Every structure is written in C-alpha cells, then in structure tokens.
Amino acid sequence: AQTVTQSQPEMSVQEAETVTLSCTYDTSESDYYLFWYKQPPSRQMILVIRQEAYKQQNATENRFSVNFQKAAKSFSLKISDSQLGDAAMYFCAYRSDYNQGGKLIFGQGTELSVKP
C-alpha cells in the first residue's frame, strides 16, 4: 500500500522569504500523480500544484514550485516570496491508479505560519 509522510508538523517563515515543505512517499507504481493542497482556517481544500510522475520537469505555479525526485520518492514544495495569506495547513497527497479507485492518500500535514 502507498504511504505519504510529512515529517514537519509545523514550519515558520518570515514574510517575503522562501520556505520548503518536505514530503516523501512510498509506492511500487511507476505512473502516479502527486499533489500539494492548502487548507486555510476556512477548512476549504485548495489545490496548490500537481505533478505527473512521468514528467521529469518540476511543476511550477507562480510562487509555488516543487522539487520532484522520483528515485528518492521525494516531493517537496517551495514557496517563494511568502505572503501572510500563505499561512495554512499544507497536505501532500498521492493519487493511486484509477484501477484502484483513484484514491488520494494524504500525508499528516504541515502547519505553516508566516511572520510579518
């Protein structure tokens, strides 16, 4: 079974600085998707970025980028020029093949605080 691990329960960053959130996963599959979701206090789950395992190029979305290391099974999220609105819980997630229901498997989450 696939597992996702986020080893940093809490992180803190100064406004305008850069922060990296870590995520590792375990799988025997070769094709899969990885995601980072943001959950602000409103509880809404917001997709930040996604990465297809077959793509070697790291995904980027404005100030958000990932470092995808397939052999190491690592998928970290870098937030550049951090803003107060980035403060939230961040979840790393793995999507299994749809032959197994396309389930999302989540890590434990990292609570990010942004200091003004």
Which residues of the chain form contacts with another protein (CB under 8 A)?
Answer: 4, 6, 9, 43-45, 47, 50, 91, 98, 101-109
CB closer to another protein out of 27 and 80: 27
Closer to another protein by Cβ: residue 31 or 62: 31
The residue among 20, 38, 44, 57 whose CA lies nearest residue 106 is 38
Question: d(Cα 25, Cα 5) in Å, to the nearest integer?
Answer: 6
Count the residues in the chain: 116
Q: CB 19: neighbour CB atoms within 10 A?
A: 19
Closer to another protein by CB, 17 or 97: give it.
97
We find the least distance from the C-beta atom of residue 16 to another protein, in angstroms, to be 29
